[in-house]
Amino acid sequence: MKTVIPLNAIVESPTNPRRKFDVTMLKKSMAEQGLIHPIVVRRVDKLFEVIDGHRRFRAAKALEWDTLPALEQTADDTTALEMALAANLHAESLTPLEEAEGFAKLRELGGETPEQMAASVGRTKGWVYQRLKLLELVPEARRLLQSGELALSVAIPLARLPEKLQPKALDRVVAMGAREAIEWLQKEFVVSLRNAPFNVKDDMLLEGAPPCGKCPKRSGSGPVGLFDDLEGEVNLCTDVVCFNAKARAALEEKMAAEAKKGAAVLGLAEGRKLFSGGVLTYGAGYVDVDGVVQTDAKRRTWSEVLGEKAPQVVVAPDAELRLHRLYREAEAHAAAAELGAKWARPDKPAKPGAPAAPTKERPDEESARKVRERVVADVLVGAALKMGKLKDVPPALFVIMATALHTTHAPTPAVTAYLDAVAGESIKDFQAWAGSRASPKALLGYLFVALTEEWCGSTWDGFDPGLEVVAKAFGFNLQQMVADAAKQ
């Protein structure tokens, strides 16, 4: 019902989601043209509460009008808030946080689900879920979002982080562009459940934590729209604190079980020193129980070679909290020598992890290792340089290059050698070189080195078969290269 109401009988709604008002231009327009659209009110006791038209009401007060045209409607608190939200959303006059607070108030007043709220204001469920998630931002992140210093597209994945992780992450993302920030948040705080070091179906692993498959923080089971930036992957965990806690709990259970079987147990700090990328480092002083013995002609694992002669198992966790079953290297070789293996080194190093002293029958292993590593780098760099002379580069390789460069932050030694050979100078800023100065052929060569060195290397007394294939394909004589490297 349309009516004219005295201005002093009108009050603003305490549930209005809008907090910021600028009526400067509206006041000027109303002074010149009057009020084109009446405000919408509801009767509350003897007064009229604004449902839609708070800015028009404020402008009228600033102009010192006596009355204001209005449409009176009957509405309870929930309906009034729904109408206010819908009007503001339609006018795009609310900030994301104001929208979030409005939805939260609507949920509090009427107990509505996000699906019901989405229908009442004409938005999608994902929209509502994303806005409600913003309320989990720490105060400083809210302030930056409200002021426009934090992009909404960054605020949503930031809000998914546990509260204690948000401040440190916020310090990083405010200095980044939106796309870079989103990618960094995903890389640092989102983990795949596909190869989790624990049973993702176990609901007893961590008190208060559901099995991963039913957790709302998993991208595939959480609210629709909340994980749109994760590109459709359904097995991603967005709570690294819980993930790490489960991984540690599972690790402790496994270590306790191995100890009961008689295994020696190394702690996390000691275990981390033994592995790089989940692989035993050279000189660690241990061998993997289930790892292939590179010098064994039958390519058997250590457990297959040693059988009942196997020494005590040692279990050690790596940095990703995966448990590895190992033998002490000296003990494994001594057992293999006792079984008649010609390749075994029966003498025990002076201390765990230290190379055995050289003898007439066996040259200095450290020197031999350095020679082999030099040859590996020479083969890879030489092959990359030859690839750089190719006349035609298949288009598909550029897609692969883009993916590899996108996930690479710093070159490894063999890659550095290649870059130096191509550019003739040390590459201090790899990303700048790859992103602007490098030619497509140079990038192709780099990609070859970066990917090939992951699976081409040396063994205790020779080279990985993969390196031999590469050397043959590009016309390198490995034996001659070893001889030349040994002279240097």
Q: Is 347 domain-assigned? A: no
Residue 256, pLDDT score: 93
Q: Are residues 15 and 105 in the same domain?
A: yes
Last residue of a domain, one of 243, 278, 303: 243
Contact 20, 67 (CB under 8 A): no
**From CA 191, how far away is CA 306, in angstroms rounded?**
37
E strands present in 186-298:
191-192, 236-237, 264-265, 275-276, 279-280, 286-288
Q: Are residues 298 and 237 in the same domain?
A: no
Contact 331, 287 (CB under 8 A): no
Last residue of a domain, one of 82, 106, 128: 128
Number of residues that make up the chain: 488
Tokens of 329: 């290297």
For tokens 């006349």, name the residue.
391
For tokens 């050979």, name the residue.
421
Residue 34: CATH number of its domain: 3.90.1530.10
Torsion sign, CA atoms 374, 375, 377, 378: positive
Q: Are residues 451 and 433 in the same domain?
A: yes
Tokens of 283: 């000189």
**From CA 124, how far away is CA 117, in angstroms rounded?**
9
Q: Are residues 32 and 83 in the same domain?
A: yes
Q: Is 413 domain-assigned? A: yes
Residue 303, pLDDT score: 94
Last residue of a domain, one of 189, 217, 243: 243
Q: Are residues 403 and 477 in the same domain?
A: yes
Query: Could you tell me whether strands 39-44 and 47-52 are parallel, antiparallel, or unpaired per DSSP bridges?
Result: antiparallel
- Work out the number of other CB atoms within 10 angstroms of the CB of residue 263: 19
Torsion sign, CA atoms 195, 199, 205, 208: positive
DSSP secondary structure string for all residues of 56-112? HHHHHHHTT-SEEEEEE----HHHHHHHHHHHHHHHT-S-HHHHHHHHHHHHHHH--
Question: Reduced to 3 states, what is the DSSP secondary structure of residue 254?
Answer: helix
Q: How many domains does the chain have?
A: 4
Domain that holds residue 144: 136-243
Q: Are residues 19 and 94 in the same domain?
A: yes
Q: Are residues 272 and 221 in the same domain?
A: no
Q: Is 435 domain-assigned? A: yes
Number of Cα atoms under 13 Å in the Cβ half of residue 20: 10
Q: Are residues 370 and 458 in the same domain?
A: yes
In sequence order, the β-bridge partners of residue 47 are 44
Q: Is 360 domain-assigned? A: no
Q: Are residues 184 and 102 in the same domain?
A: no
Q: Is 467 domain-assigned? A: yes
DSSP secondary structure string for all residues of 320-335? T--EEEEEEHHHHHHH
Exposed/middle/buried for 337, CB within 10 Å: 0-12, 13-18, 19+? Answer: middle
Backbone angles phi, psi at 76, to 5 degrees: -80, 180
Tokens of 380: 């890879």
Contacts for 464 with CB less than 8 Å, ≥ 6 apart: 455, 456, 457, 458
Backbone angles phi, psi at 233, to 5 degrees: -65, 135
Tokens of 75: 């509405």
Q: Are residues 145 and 188 in the same domain?
A: yes
**From CA 306, how far away is CA 335, in angstroms rounded?**
7
Contact 60, 35 (CB under 8 A): yes
Q: Are residues 279 and 233 in the same domain?
A: no
Q: Is 251 domain-assigned? A: no
Q: Assign 3-class secondary structure to 183-212.
A: HHHHHHHCEECCCCCCCCCCCCCCCCCCCH
Q: Is 13 domain-assigned? A: yes
Tokens of 112: 């509505």
Q: How far apart are the first and last CA of the chain?
A: 98
Run means of pLDDT, 10 residues per run, the chain, 488 residues: 82 72 76 80 84 81 86 78 68 74 78 80 82 92 90 91 90 87 88 88 87 87 77 81 91 93 91 84 87 86 94 92 93 92 68 44 59 78 69 55 50 62 57 62 68 59 70 81 79
Q: Is 356 domain-assigned? A: no
Q: Are residues 381 and 442 in the same domain?
A: yes
